[in-house]
Amino acid sequence: MSSDFIHIEENGIKYLVHPKGSLFEGIKMRENPDDAFENAIKRGMKNPDDWMYMYSDKNKDYFKNYYSRAYMSYPQFDLKDKIKNFKKNRDAR
């Protein structure tokens, strides 16, 4: 990855973000795409070898199918995770 990316962390997930002025400005990608795959498999992804991780947006990871070019998204957090993150953020204040 290029050092031109901006490194950020949101809700415990580390991202690389394209910088201002880039054609892909503001698009977030996980620093470790394997984490996105592990999460998607846990949430029901079938045949992970048929998918490419593309980007993350609004607490979802987006994947593109190699063959059909169709997109699929998976939430990064379930209700249990959301409650845990809410409590963690509340306690940090």
Give me the tens of pLDDT residue by residue for the chain, a chain 93 residues long.
445 899 999 888 999 999 998 898 889 999 999 999 999 999 999 999 999 999 999 999 999 999 999 999 999 987 777 677 677 767 777
- Sign of the Cα torsion 39, 44, 50, 52 reads negative
What residue spans define the domains of the chain? 6-92
Predicted TM-score (pTM) of this structure? 0.78
Range 10-39 burial, b when 16+ CB lie within 10 A, else e: eeebebbbbeeeeeeeeebbbeeeeebbeb
* Residue owning tokens 């059909």: 68
